[in-house]
């Protein structure tokens, strides 16, 4: 800001100097013009006085010739010359300066008497009066002499005035010239100063531009390249891959358990860990490599001139070995581990964008399978165009009403009477026909469509419950809730709104969840489930026994029902331990105050065993397959549905 102010001041001063210089030039021009006009006027007046002097002299010479000749031959020239200066005197009186006008007027009177004397002399000569003629001649000579002296005095005076005007004009011009020279020097100095200031300002601007570009292309926390510079270097490396057999490699790295460091030690410690990782990557990379931070705990290394995938994997393992060393964070020794995905151009990737995408796929494969370093394999790439198209189709199906809800009944083990149904979603695809949930639920999970899909199933199931109630059937419905629902604090309020809309009574709606849904954030899931139970919604844990922490969730989660997975049911008759496992799970559920539902019952011989174990309900193909609502209504009436 200071340099900019100095530059503006210098430019303003230069502009003022140039303006003053132009003003001096204009003043000099006008002053010279005025002086020239005055001198020209004085010169014209002088010429008029010179004419007066000359014509009076001519008149006097004609007088002398006439007196000397004393004949009629000299009379004509004298008569023609009498009064010849009158016109000049009138001009001087009218156009001369104050002095010239006054002198001309005074001289006119004398000149009039002089002209009268000459005419009288001519008249005396006509009458032959020699005496009067001589007297008039003497008088005329005296008058002519006096007139010529006065004319010469005025000529001299005007010449003196012209000299004064010339001298004054010269002095003024010299003063203006001096001022112009001084201002020219000042302006030249200002031009030089402005040039220096502008050059310094330009250098400062260029330096700031370089700094701005550096900041725009580098990560502010670590100082390594950011995503923008990475993409630029990646494009350059791909474009300059010229050596036969050579390629461009990319390593994409993601830290393991970085969130735990942030949550436990704070963000400052997390930032220090990120800085240490960036430093280790920079130390392990070659001079021609580019280390970049893509954001969060994700880094990338561009490796130009890599010969093979073996060399790329060797570099990746070396970087991982150098990276995975403990870091001291304010006295806490934190172990560093990472997952690295590797891809190589042009062996597997056709351009820079694919190179980055494939490295990302490989990195998630390395993290998922705990490989440390993984090379891109097309079989690991779930983000195919077909899957992307399926996501768009599923969204359209949800909005366009292509989803259907089928219902599979749950029956009481003791007498086979229905106790409720489970709502199971189906997709009536316009080309592929009726699709089961296993064919589109993964697509919904990857595209963020679980919540709107769950809303469709909930609304449809509650509306159907109201229709069954109107028809005289009490048929509670269980709905599977997606994982996103258990992370949405607004989900219980939305369920309450639907219950009011469809007049759903307490105990009629059951929400089924799986253990994997609550692993990420058990406290939030428990809070949301508790709010649902306050609304009168029952909570069931589905596929029990397939997770990692089943026992602890039975104590932590607000549950009403436990569903034993079909994999245990299938073994209940084939293996001796199968029955014992089902019995143990049932005893555990009863100890926690939960009802037990056994899934996947397909054989009649299984039912007595379940009854003996004490399981309250069962569902499976033995009783009924999932049916559309109308078919399920007919089935329930035939089985004489009773309240749960």
pLDDT one-digit tens code per residue, 422-460: 999 999 988 888 888 888 887 887 778 889 999 999 999
Q: How far apart are CA 619 and CA 513, in angstroms?
A: 17
Strand, coil or helix: 337? coil
pLDDT one-digit tens code per residue, 369-416: 778 898 888 776 655 555 556 778 889 989 989 999 999 999 999 988
The arithmetic mean of pLDDT across residues 348-352, rounded, is: 71
Q: Is the pLDDT of residue 243 over 60?
A: no
The arithmetic mean of pLDDT across residues 245-263, rounded, is: 82
Name the least confident of 180-189, 396-405, 507-516, 532-541: 180-189
The arithmetic mean of pLDDT across residues 586-604, rounded, is: 90
Name the least confident of 16-20, 133-137, 529-533: 16-20
Closest CA to 538 of 568, 586, 499, 583: 499
Q: Where residue 244 falls among pLDDT bands split at 50, 70, 90?
A: low
The arithmetic mean of pLDDT across residues 74-95, rounded, is: 80
Q: How far apart are CA 324 and CA 255, in angstroms?
A: 10
Q: Is the pLDDT of residue 130 over 70?
A: yes
Q: Which carries the bigger pLDDT value, residue 515 or residue 56?
A: 56
Q: What does the pLDDT read at residue 161?
A: 79
Contact 565, 619 (CB under 8 A): no
Tell me which range, 10-14, 217-221, 298-302, is most confidently predicted by mean pLDDT.
298-302
What are 445's two structure tokens?
């999970």
The arithmetic mean of pLDDT across residues 209-229, rounded, is: 80
The arithmetic mean of pLDDT across residues 488-504, rounded, is: 92
Compute how many other C-beta atoms are within 10 angstroms of the C-beta atom of residue 277: 23
Q: Is the pLDDT of residue 315 over 50?
A: yes
Q: What does the pLDDT read at residue 16?
A: 77
Contact 391, 447 (CB under 8 A): yes
Closest CA to 510 of 480, 473, 531: 480
**Domain annotation for the chain: domains and CATH numbers:** 2-196 (1.20.120.1730), 227-380 (3.30.70.270), 410-423+450-628 (3.20.20.450)
The arithmetic mean of pLDDT across residues 564-588, rounded, is: 80
What are 97's two structure tokens?
């300066």
Compute how many other C-beta atoms are within 10 angstroms of the C-beta atom of residue 231: 17
Q: What does the pLDDT read at residue 467?
A: 94
Torsional sign, CA 227, 264, 528, 563:
positive
Compute how many other C-beta atoms are within 10 angstroms of the C-beta atom of residue 470: 9
Q: Is the pLDDT of residue 536 over 80?
A: yes
Q: How far is CA 170 from CA 36, 40, 106, 358, in A?
A: 11, 15, 34, 89
First to last CA, the chain: 80
- How big, in percent rounded to 5, are the helix, strand and coil portions of the chain? 65, 15, 20
Counting residues of the chain whose pLDDT is more than 90, the rounded percentage is 18
Q: Which stretch of DSSP H or E encloses residue 4? A: helix 2-69
Phi and psi for 225 in degrees, rounded to 5? -60, 150
Compute how many other C-beta atoms are within 10 angstroms of the C-beta atom of residue 628: 12
Cis ω for the linkage preceding 245 (within 30 of 0): no
Q: What does the pLDDT read at residue 641?
A: 46
Q: How far apart are CA 496 and CA 477, in angstroms?
A: 16
What are 229's two structure tokens?
């510079």
Tell me which range, 82-96, 207-221, 487-501, is most confidently predicted by mean pLDDT.
487-501
Q: Where residue 576 falls among pLDDT bands split at 50, 70, 90?
A: low
Alpha helices in 96-223 (DSSP H): 98-126, 130-217
Name the least confident of 180-189, 331-340, 452-461: 180-189
Phi and psi for 299 in degrees, rounded to 5? -125, 165
Q: What does the pLDDT read at residue 331?
A: 78
Contact 384, 346 (CB under 8 A): no
Tell me which range, 116-120, 227-231, 354-358, 499-503, is most confidently predicted by mean pLDDT.
499-503
Q: What does the pLDDT read at residue 486?
A: 80
Q: Return the half-sphere exposure (C-beta side, CA atoms, 13 A cut-off) of residue 586.
A: 22
Any residues with CB less than 8 A from the CB of 354 and at least 6 apart, and which?
A: 343, 345
Tell me which range, 24-38, 366-380, 510-524, 544-558, is most confidently predicted by mean pLDDT.
366-380
Q: Return the half-sphere exposure (C-beta side, CA atoms, 13 A cut-off) of residue 291.
A: 18
Q: Is the pLDDT of residue 349 over 60?
A: yes
Q: Where residue 642 falls among pLDDT bands split at 50, 70, 90?
A: very low
What are 408's two structure tokens?
């599979």
Across all residues in the chain, what is the average pLDDT? Answer: 82
Closest CA to 341 of 308, 377, 366: 366
- With b meaning 16 or more CB within 10 Å and e meaning fewer, what string describes 37-49? ebbebbeebbebb
Compute how many other C-beta atoms are within 10 angstroms of the C-beta atom of residue 637: 12
> What residues are paired with 251 via a beta bridge?
301, 342
């Amino acid at each position: 800001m200071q340099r900019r102010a100095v530059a503006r001041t210098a430019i303003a001063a230069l502009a003022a100097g140039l303006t003053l210089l132009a003003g001096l030039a204009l003043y000099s021009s006008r002053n010279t013009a005025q002086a020239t006009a005055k001198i020209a006027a004085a010169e014209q007046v002088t010429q008029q006085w010179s004419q007066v002097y000359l014509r009076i002299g001519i008149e006097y010479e004609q007088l002398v010739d006439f007196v000397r000749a004393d004949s009629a031959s000299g009379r004509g020239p004298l008569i023609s010359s009498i009064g010849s200066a009158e016109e000049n005197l009138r001009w001087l009186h009218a156009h001369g300066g104050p002095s010239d006008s006054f002198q001309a007027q005074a001289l006119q009177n004398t000149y009039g008497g002089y002209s009268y004397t000459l005419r009288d002399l001519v008249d005396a000569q006509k009458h032959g009066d020699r005496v009067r003629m001589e007297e008039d001649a003497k008088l005329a000579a005296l008058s002519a002499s006096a007139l010529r002296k006065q004319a010469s005095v005025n000529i001299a005076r005007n010449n003196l005035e012209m000299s004064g005007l010339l001298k004054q004009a010269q002095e003024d011009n010299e003063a203006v010239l001096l001022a112009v020279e001084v201002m020219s020097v000042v302006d030249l100095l200002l031009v030089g100063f402005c040039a220096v200031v502008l050059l310094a300002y330009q250098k400062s601007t260029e330096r700031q531009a370089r700094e701005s570009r550096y900041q725009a292309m580098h990560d502010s926390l670590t100082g390594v390249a950011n995503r923008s510079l990475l993409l630029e270097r990646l494009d350059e490396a791909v474009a300059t891959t010229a050596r036969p057999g050579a390629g461009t490699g990319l390593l994409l790295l993601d830290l393991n358990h970085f969130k735990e460091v942030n949550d436990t030690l704070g963000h400052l410690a997390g930032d220090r860990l990120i800085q240490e990782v960036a430093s280790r990557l920079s130390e392990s990379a070659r001079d021609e490599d580019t280390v970049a931070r893509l954001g969060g705990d994700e880094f990338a290394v561009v490796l130009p001139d890599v010969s093979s995938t073996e060399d790329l994997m060797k570099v990746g393992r070396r970087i991982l070995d150098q990276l995975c060393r403990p870091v001291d964070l304010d006295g806490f020794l934190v172990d560093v581990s990472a997952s690295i995905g590797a891809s190589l151009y042009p062996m597997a990737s056709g351009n820079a964008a694919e190179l980055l995408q494939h490295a990302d796929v490989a990195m998630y494969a390395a993290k998922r399978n705990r490989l440390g370093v993984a090379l891109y394999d097309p079989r690991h790439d779930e983000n195919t165009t077909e899957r992307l198209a399926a996501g768009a189709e599923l969204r359209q199906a949800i909005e366009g009403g292509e989803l259907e809800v089928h219902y599979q009944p749950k029956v009481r083990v003791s007498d086979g009477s229905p106790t409720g149904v489970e709502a199971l979603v189906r997709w009536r695809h316009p080309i592929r026909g009726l699709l089961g949930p296993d064919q589109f639920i993964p697509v919904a999970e990857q595209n963020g469509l679980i919540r709107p899909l769950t809303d469709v199933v909930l609304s449809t199931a509650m509306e159907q419950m109201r229709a069954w109630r109107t028809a005289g059937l009490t048929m509670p419905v269980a709905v599977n809730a997606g994982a996103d629902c258990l992370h949405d604090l607004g989900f219980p309020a939305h369920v309450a709104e639907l219950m009011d809309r469809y007049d759903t009574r307490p105990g009629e709606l059951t929400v089924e969840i799986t253990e994997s849904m609550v692993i990420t954030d058990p406290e939030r899931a428990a809070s949301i489930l508790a709010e649902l139970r306050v609304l009168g919604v029952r909570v069931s844990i589905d596929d029990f026994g397939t997770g990692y922490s089943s026992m602890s969730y039975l104590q932590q989660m607000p549950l009403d029902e436990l569903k034993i997975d079909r994999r245990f049911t299938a073994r209940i008759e084939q293996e001796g331990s199968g029955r014992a496992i089902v019995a143990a799970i049932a005893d555990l559920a009863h100890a926690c105050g939960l009802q037990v539902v056994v899934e996947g019952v397909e054989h009649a011989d299984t039912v007595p065993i379940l009854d003996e174990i004490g399981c309250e309900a069962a569902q499976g193909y033995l009783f009924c397959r999932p049916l559309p609502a109308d078919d399920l209504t007919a089935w329930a009436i035939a089985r004489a549905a009773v309240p749960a």
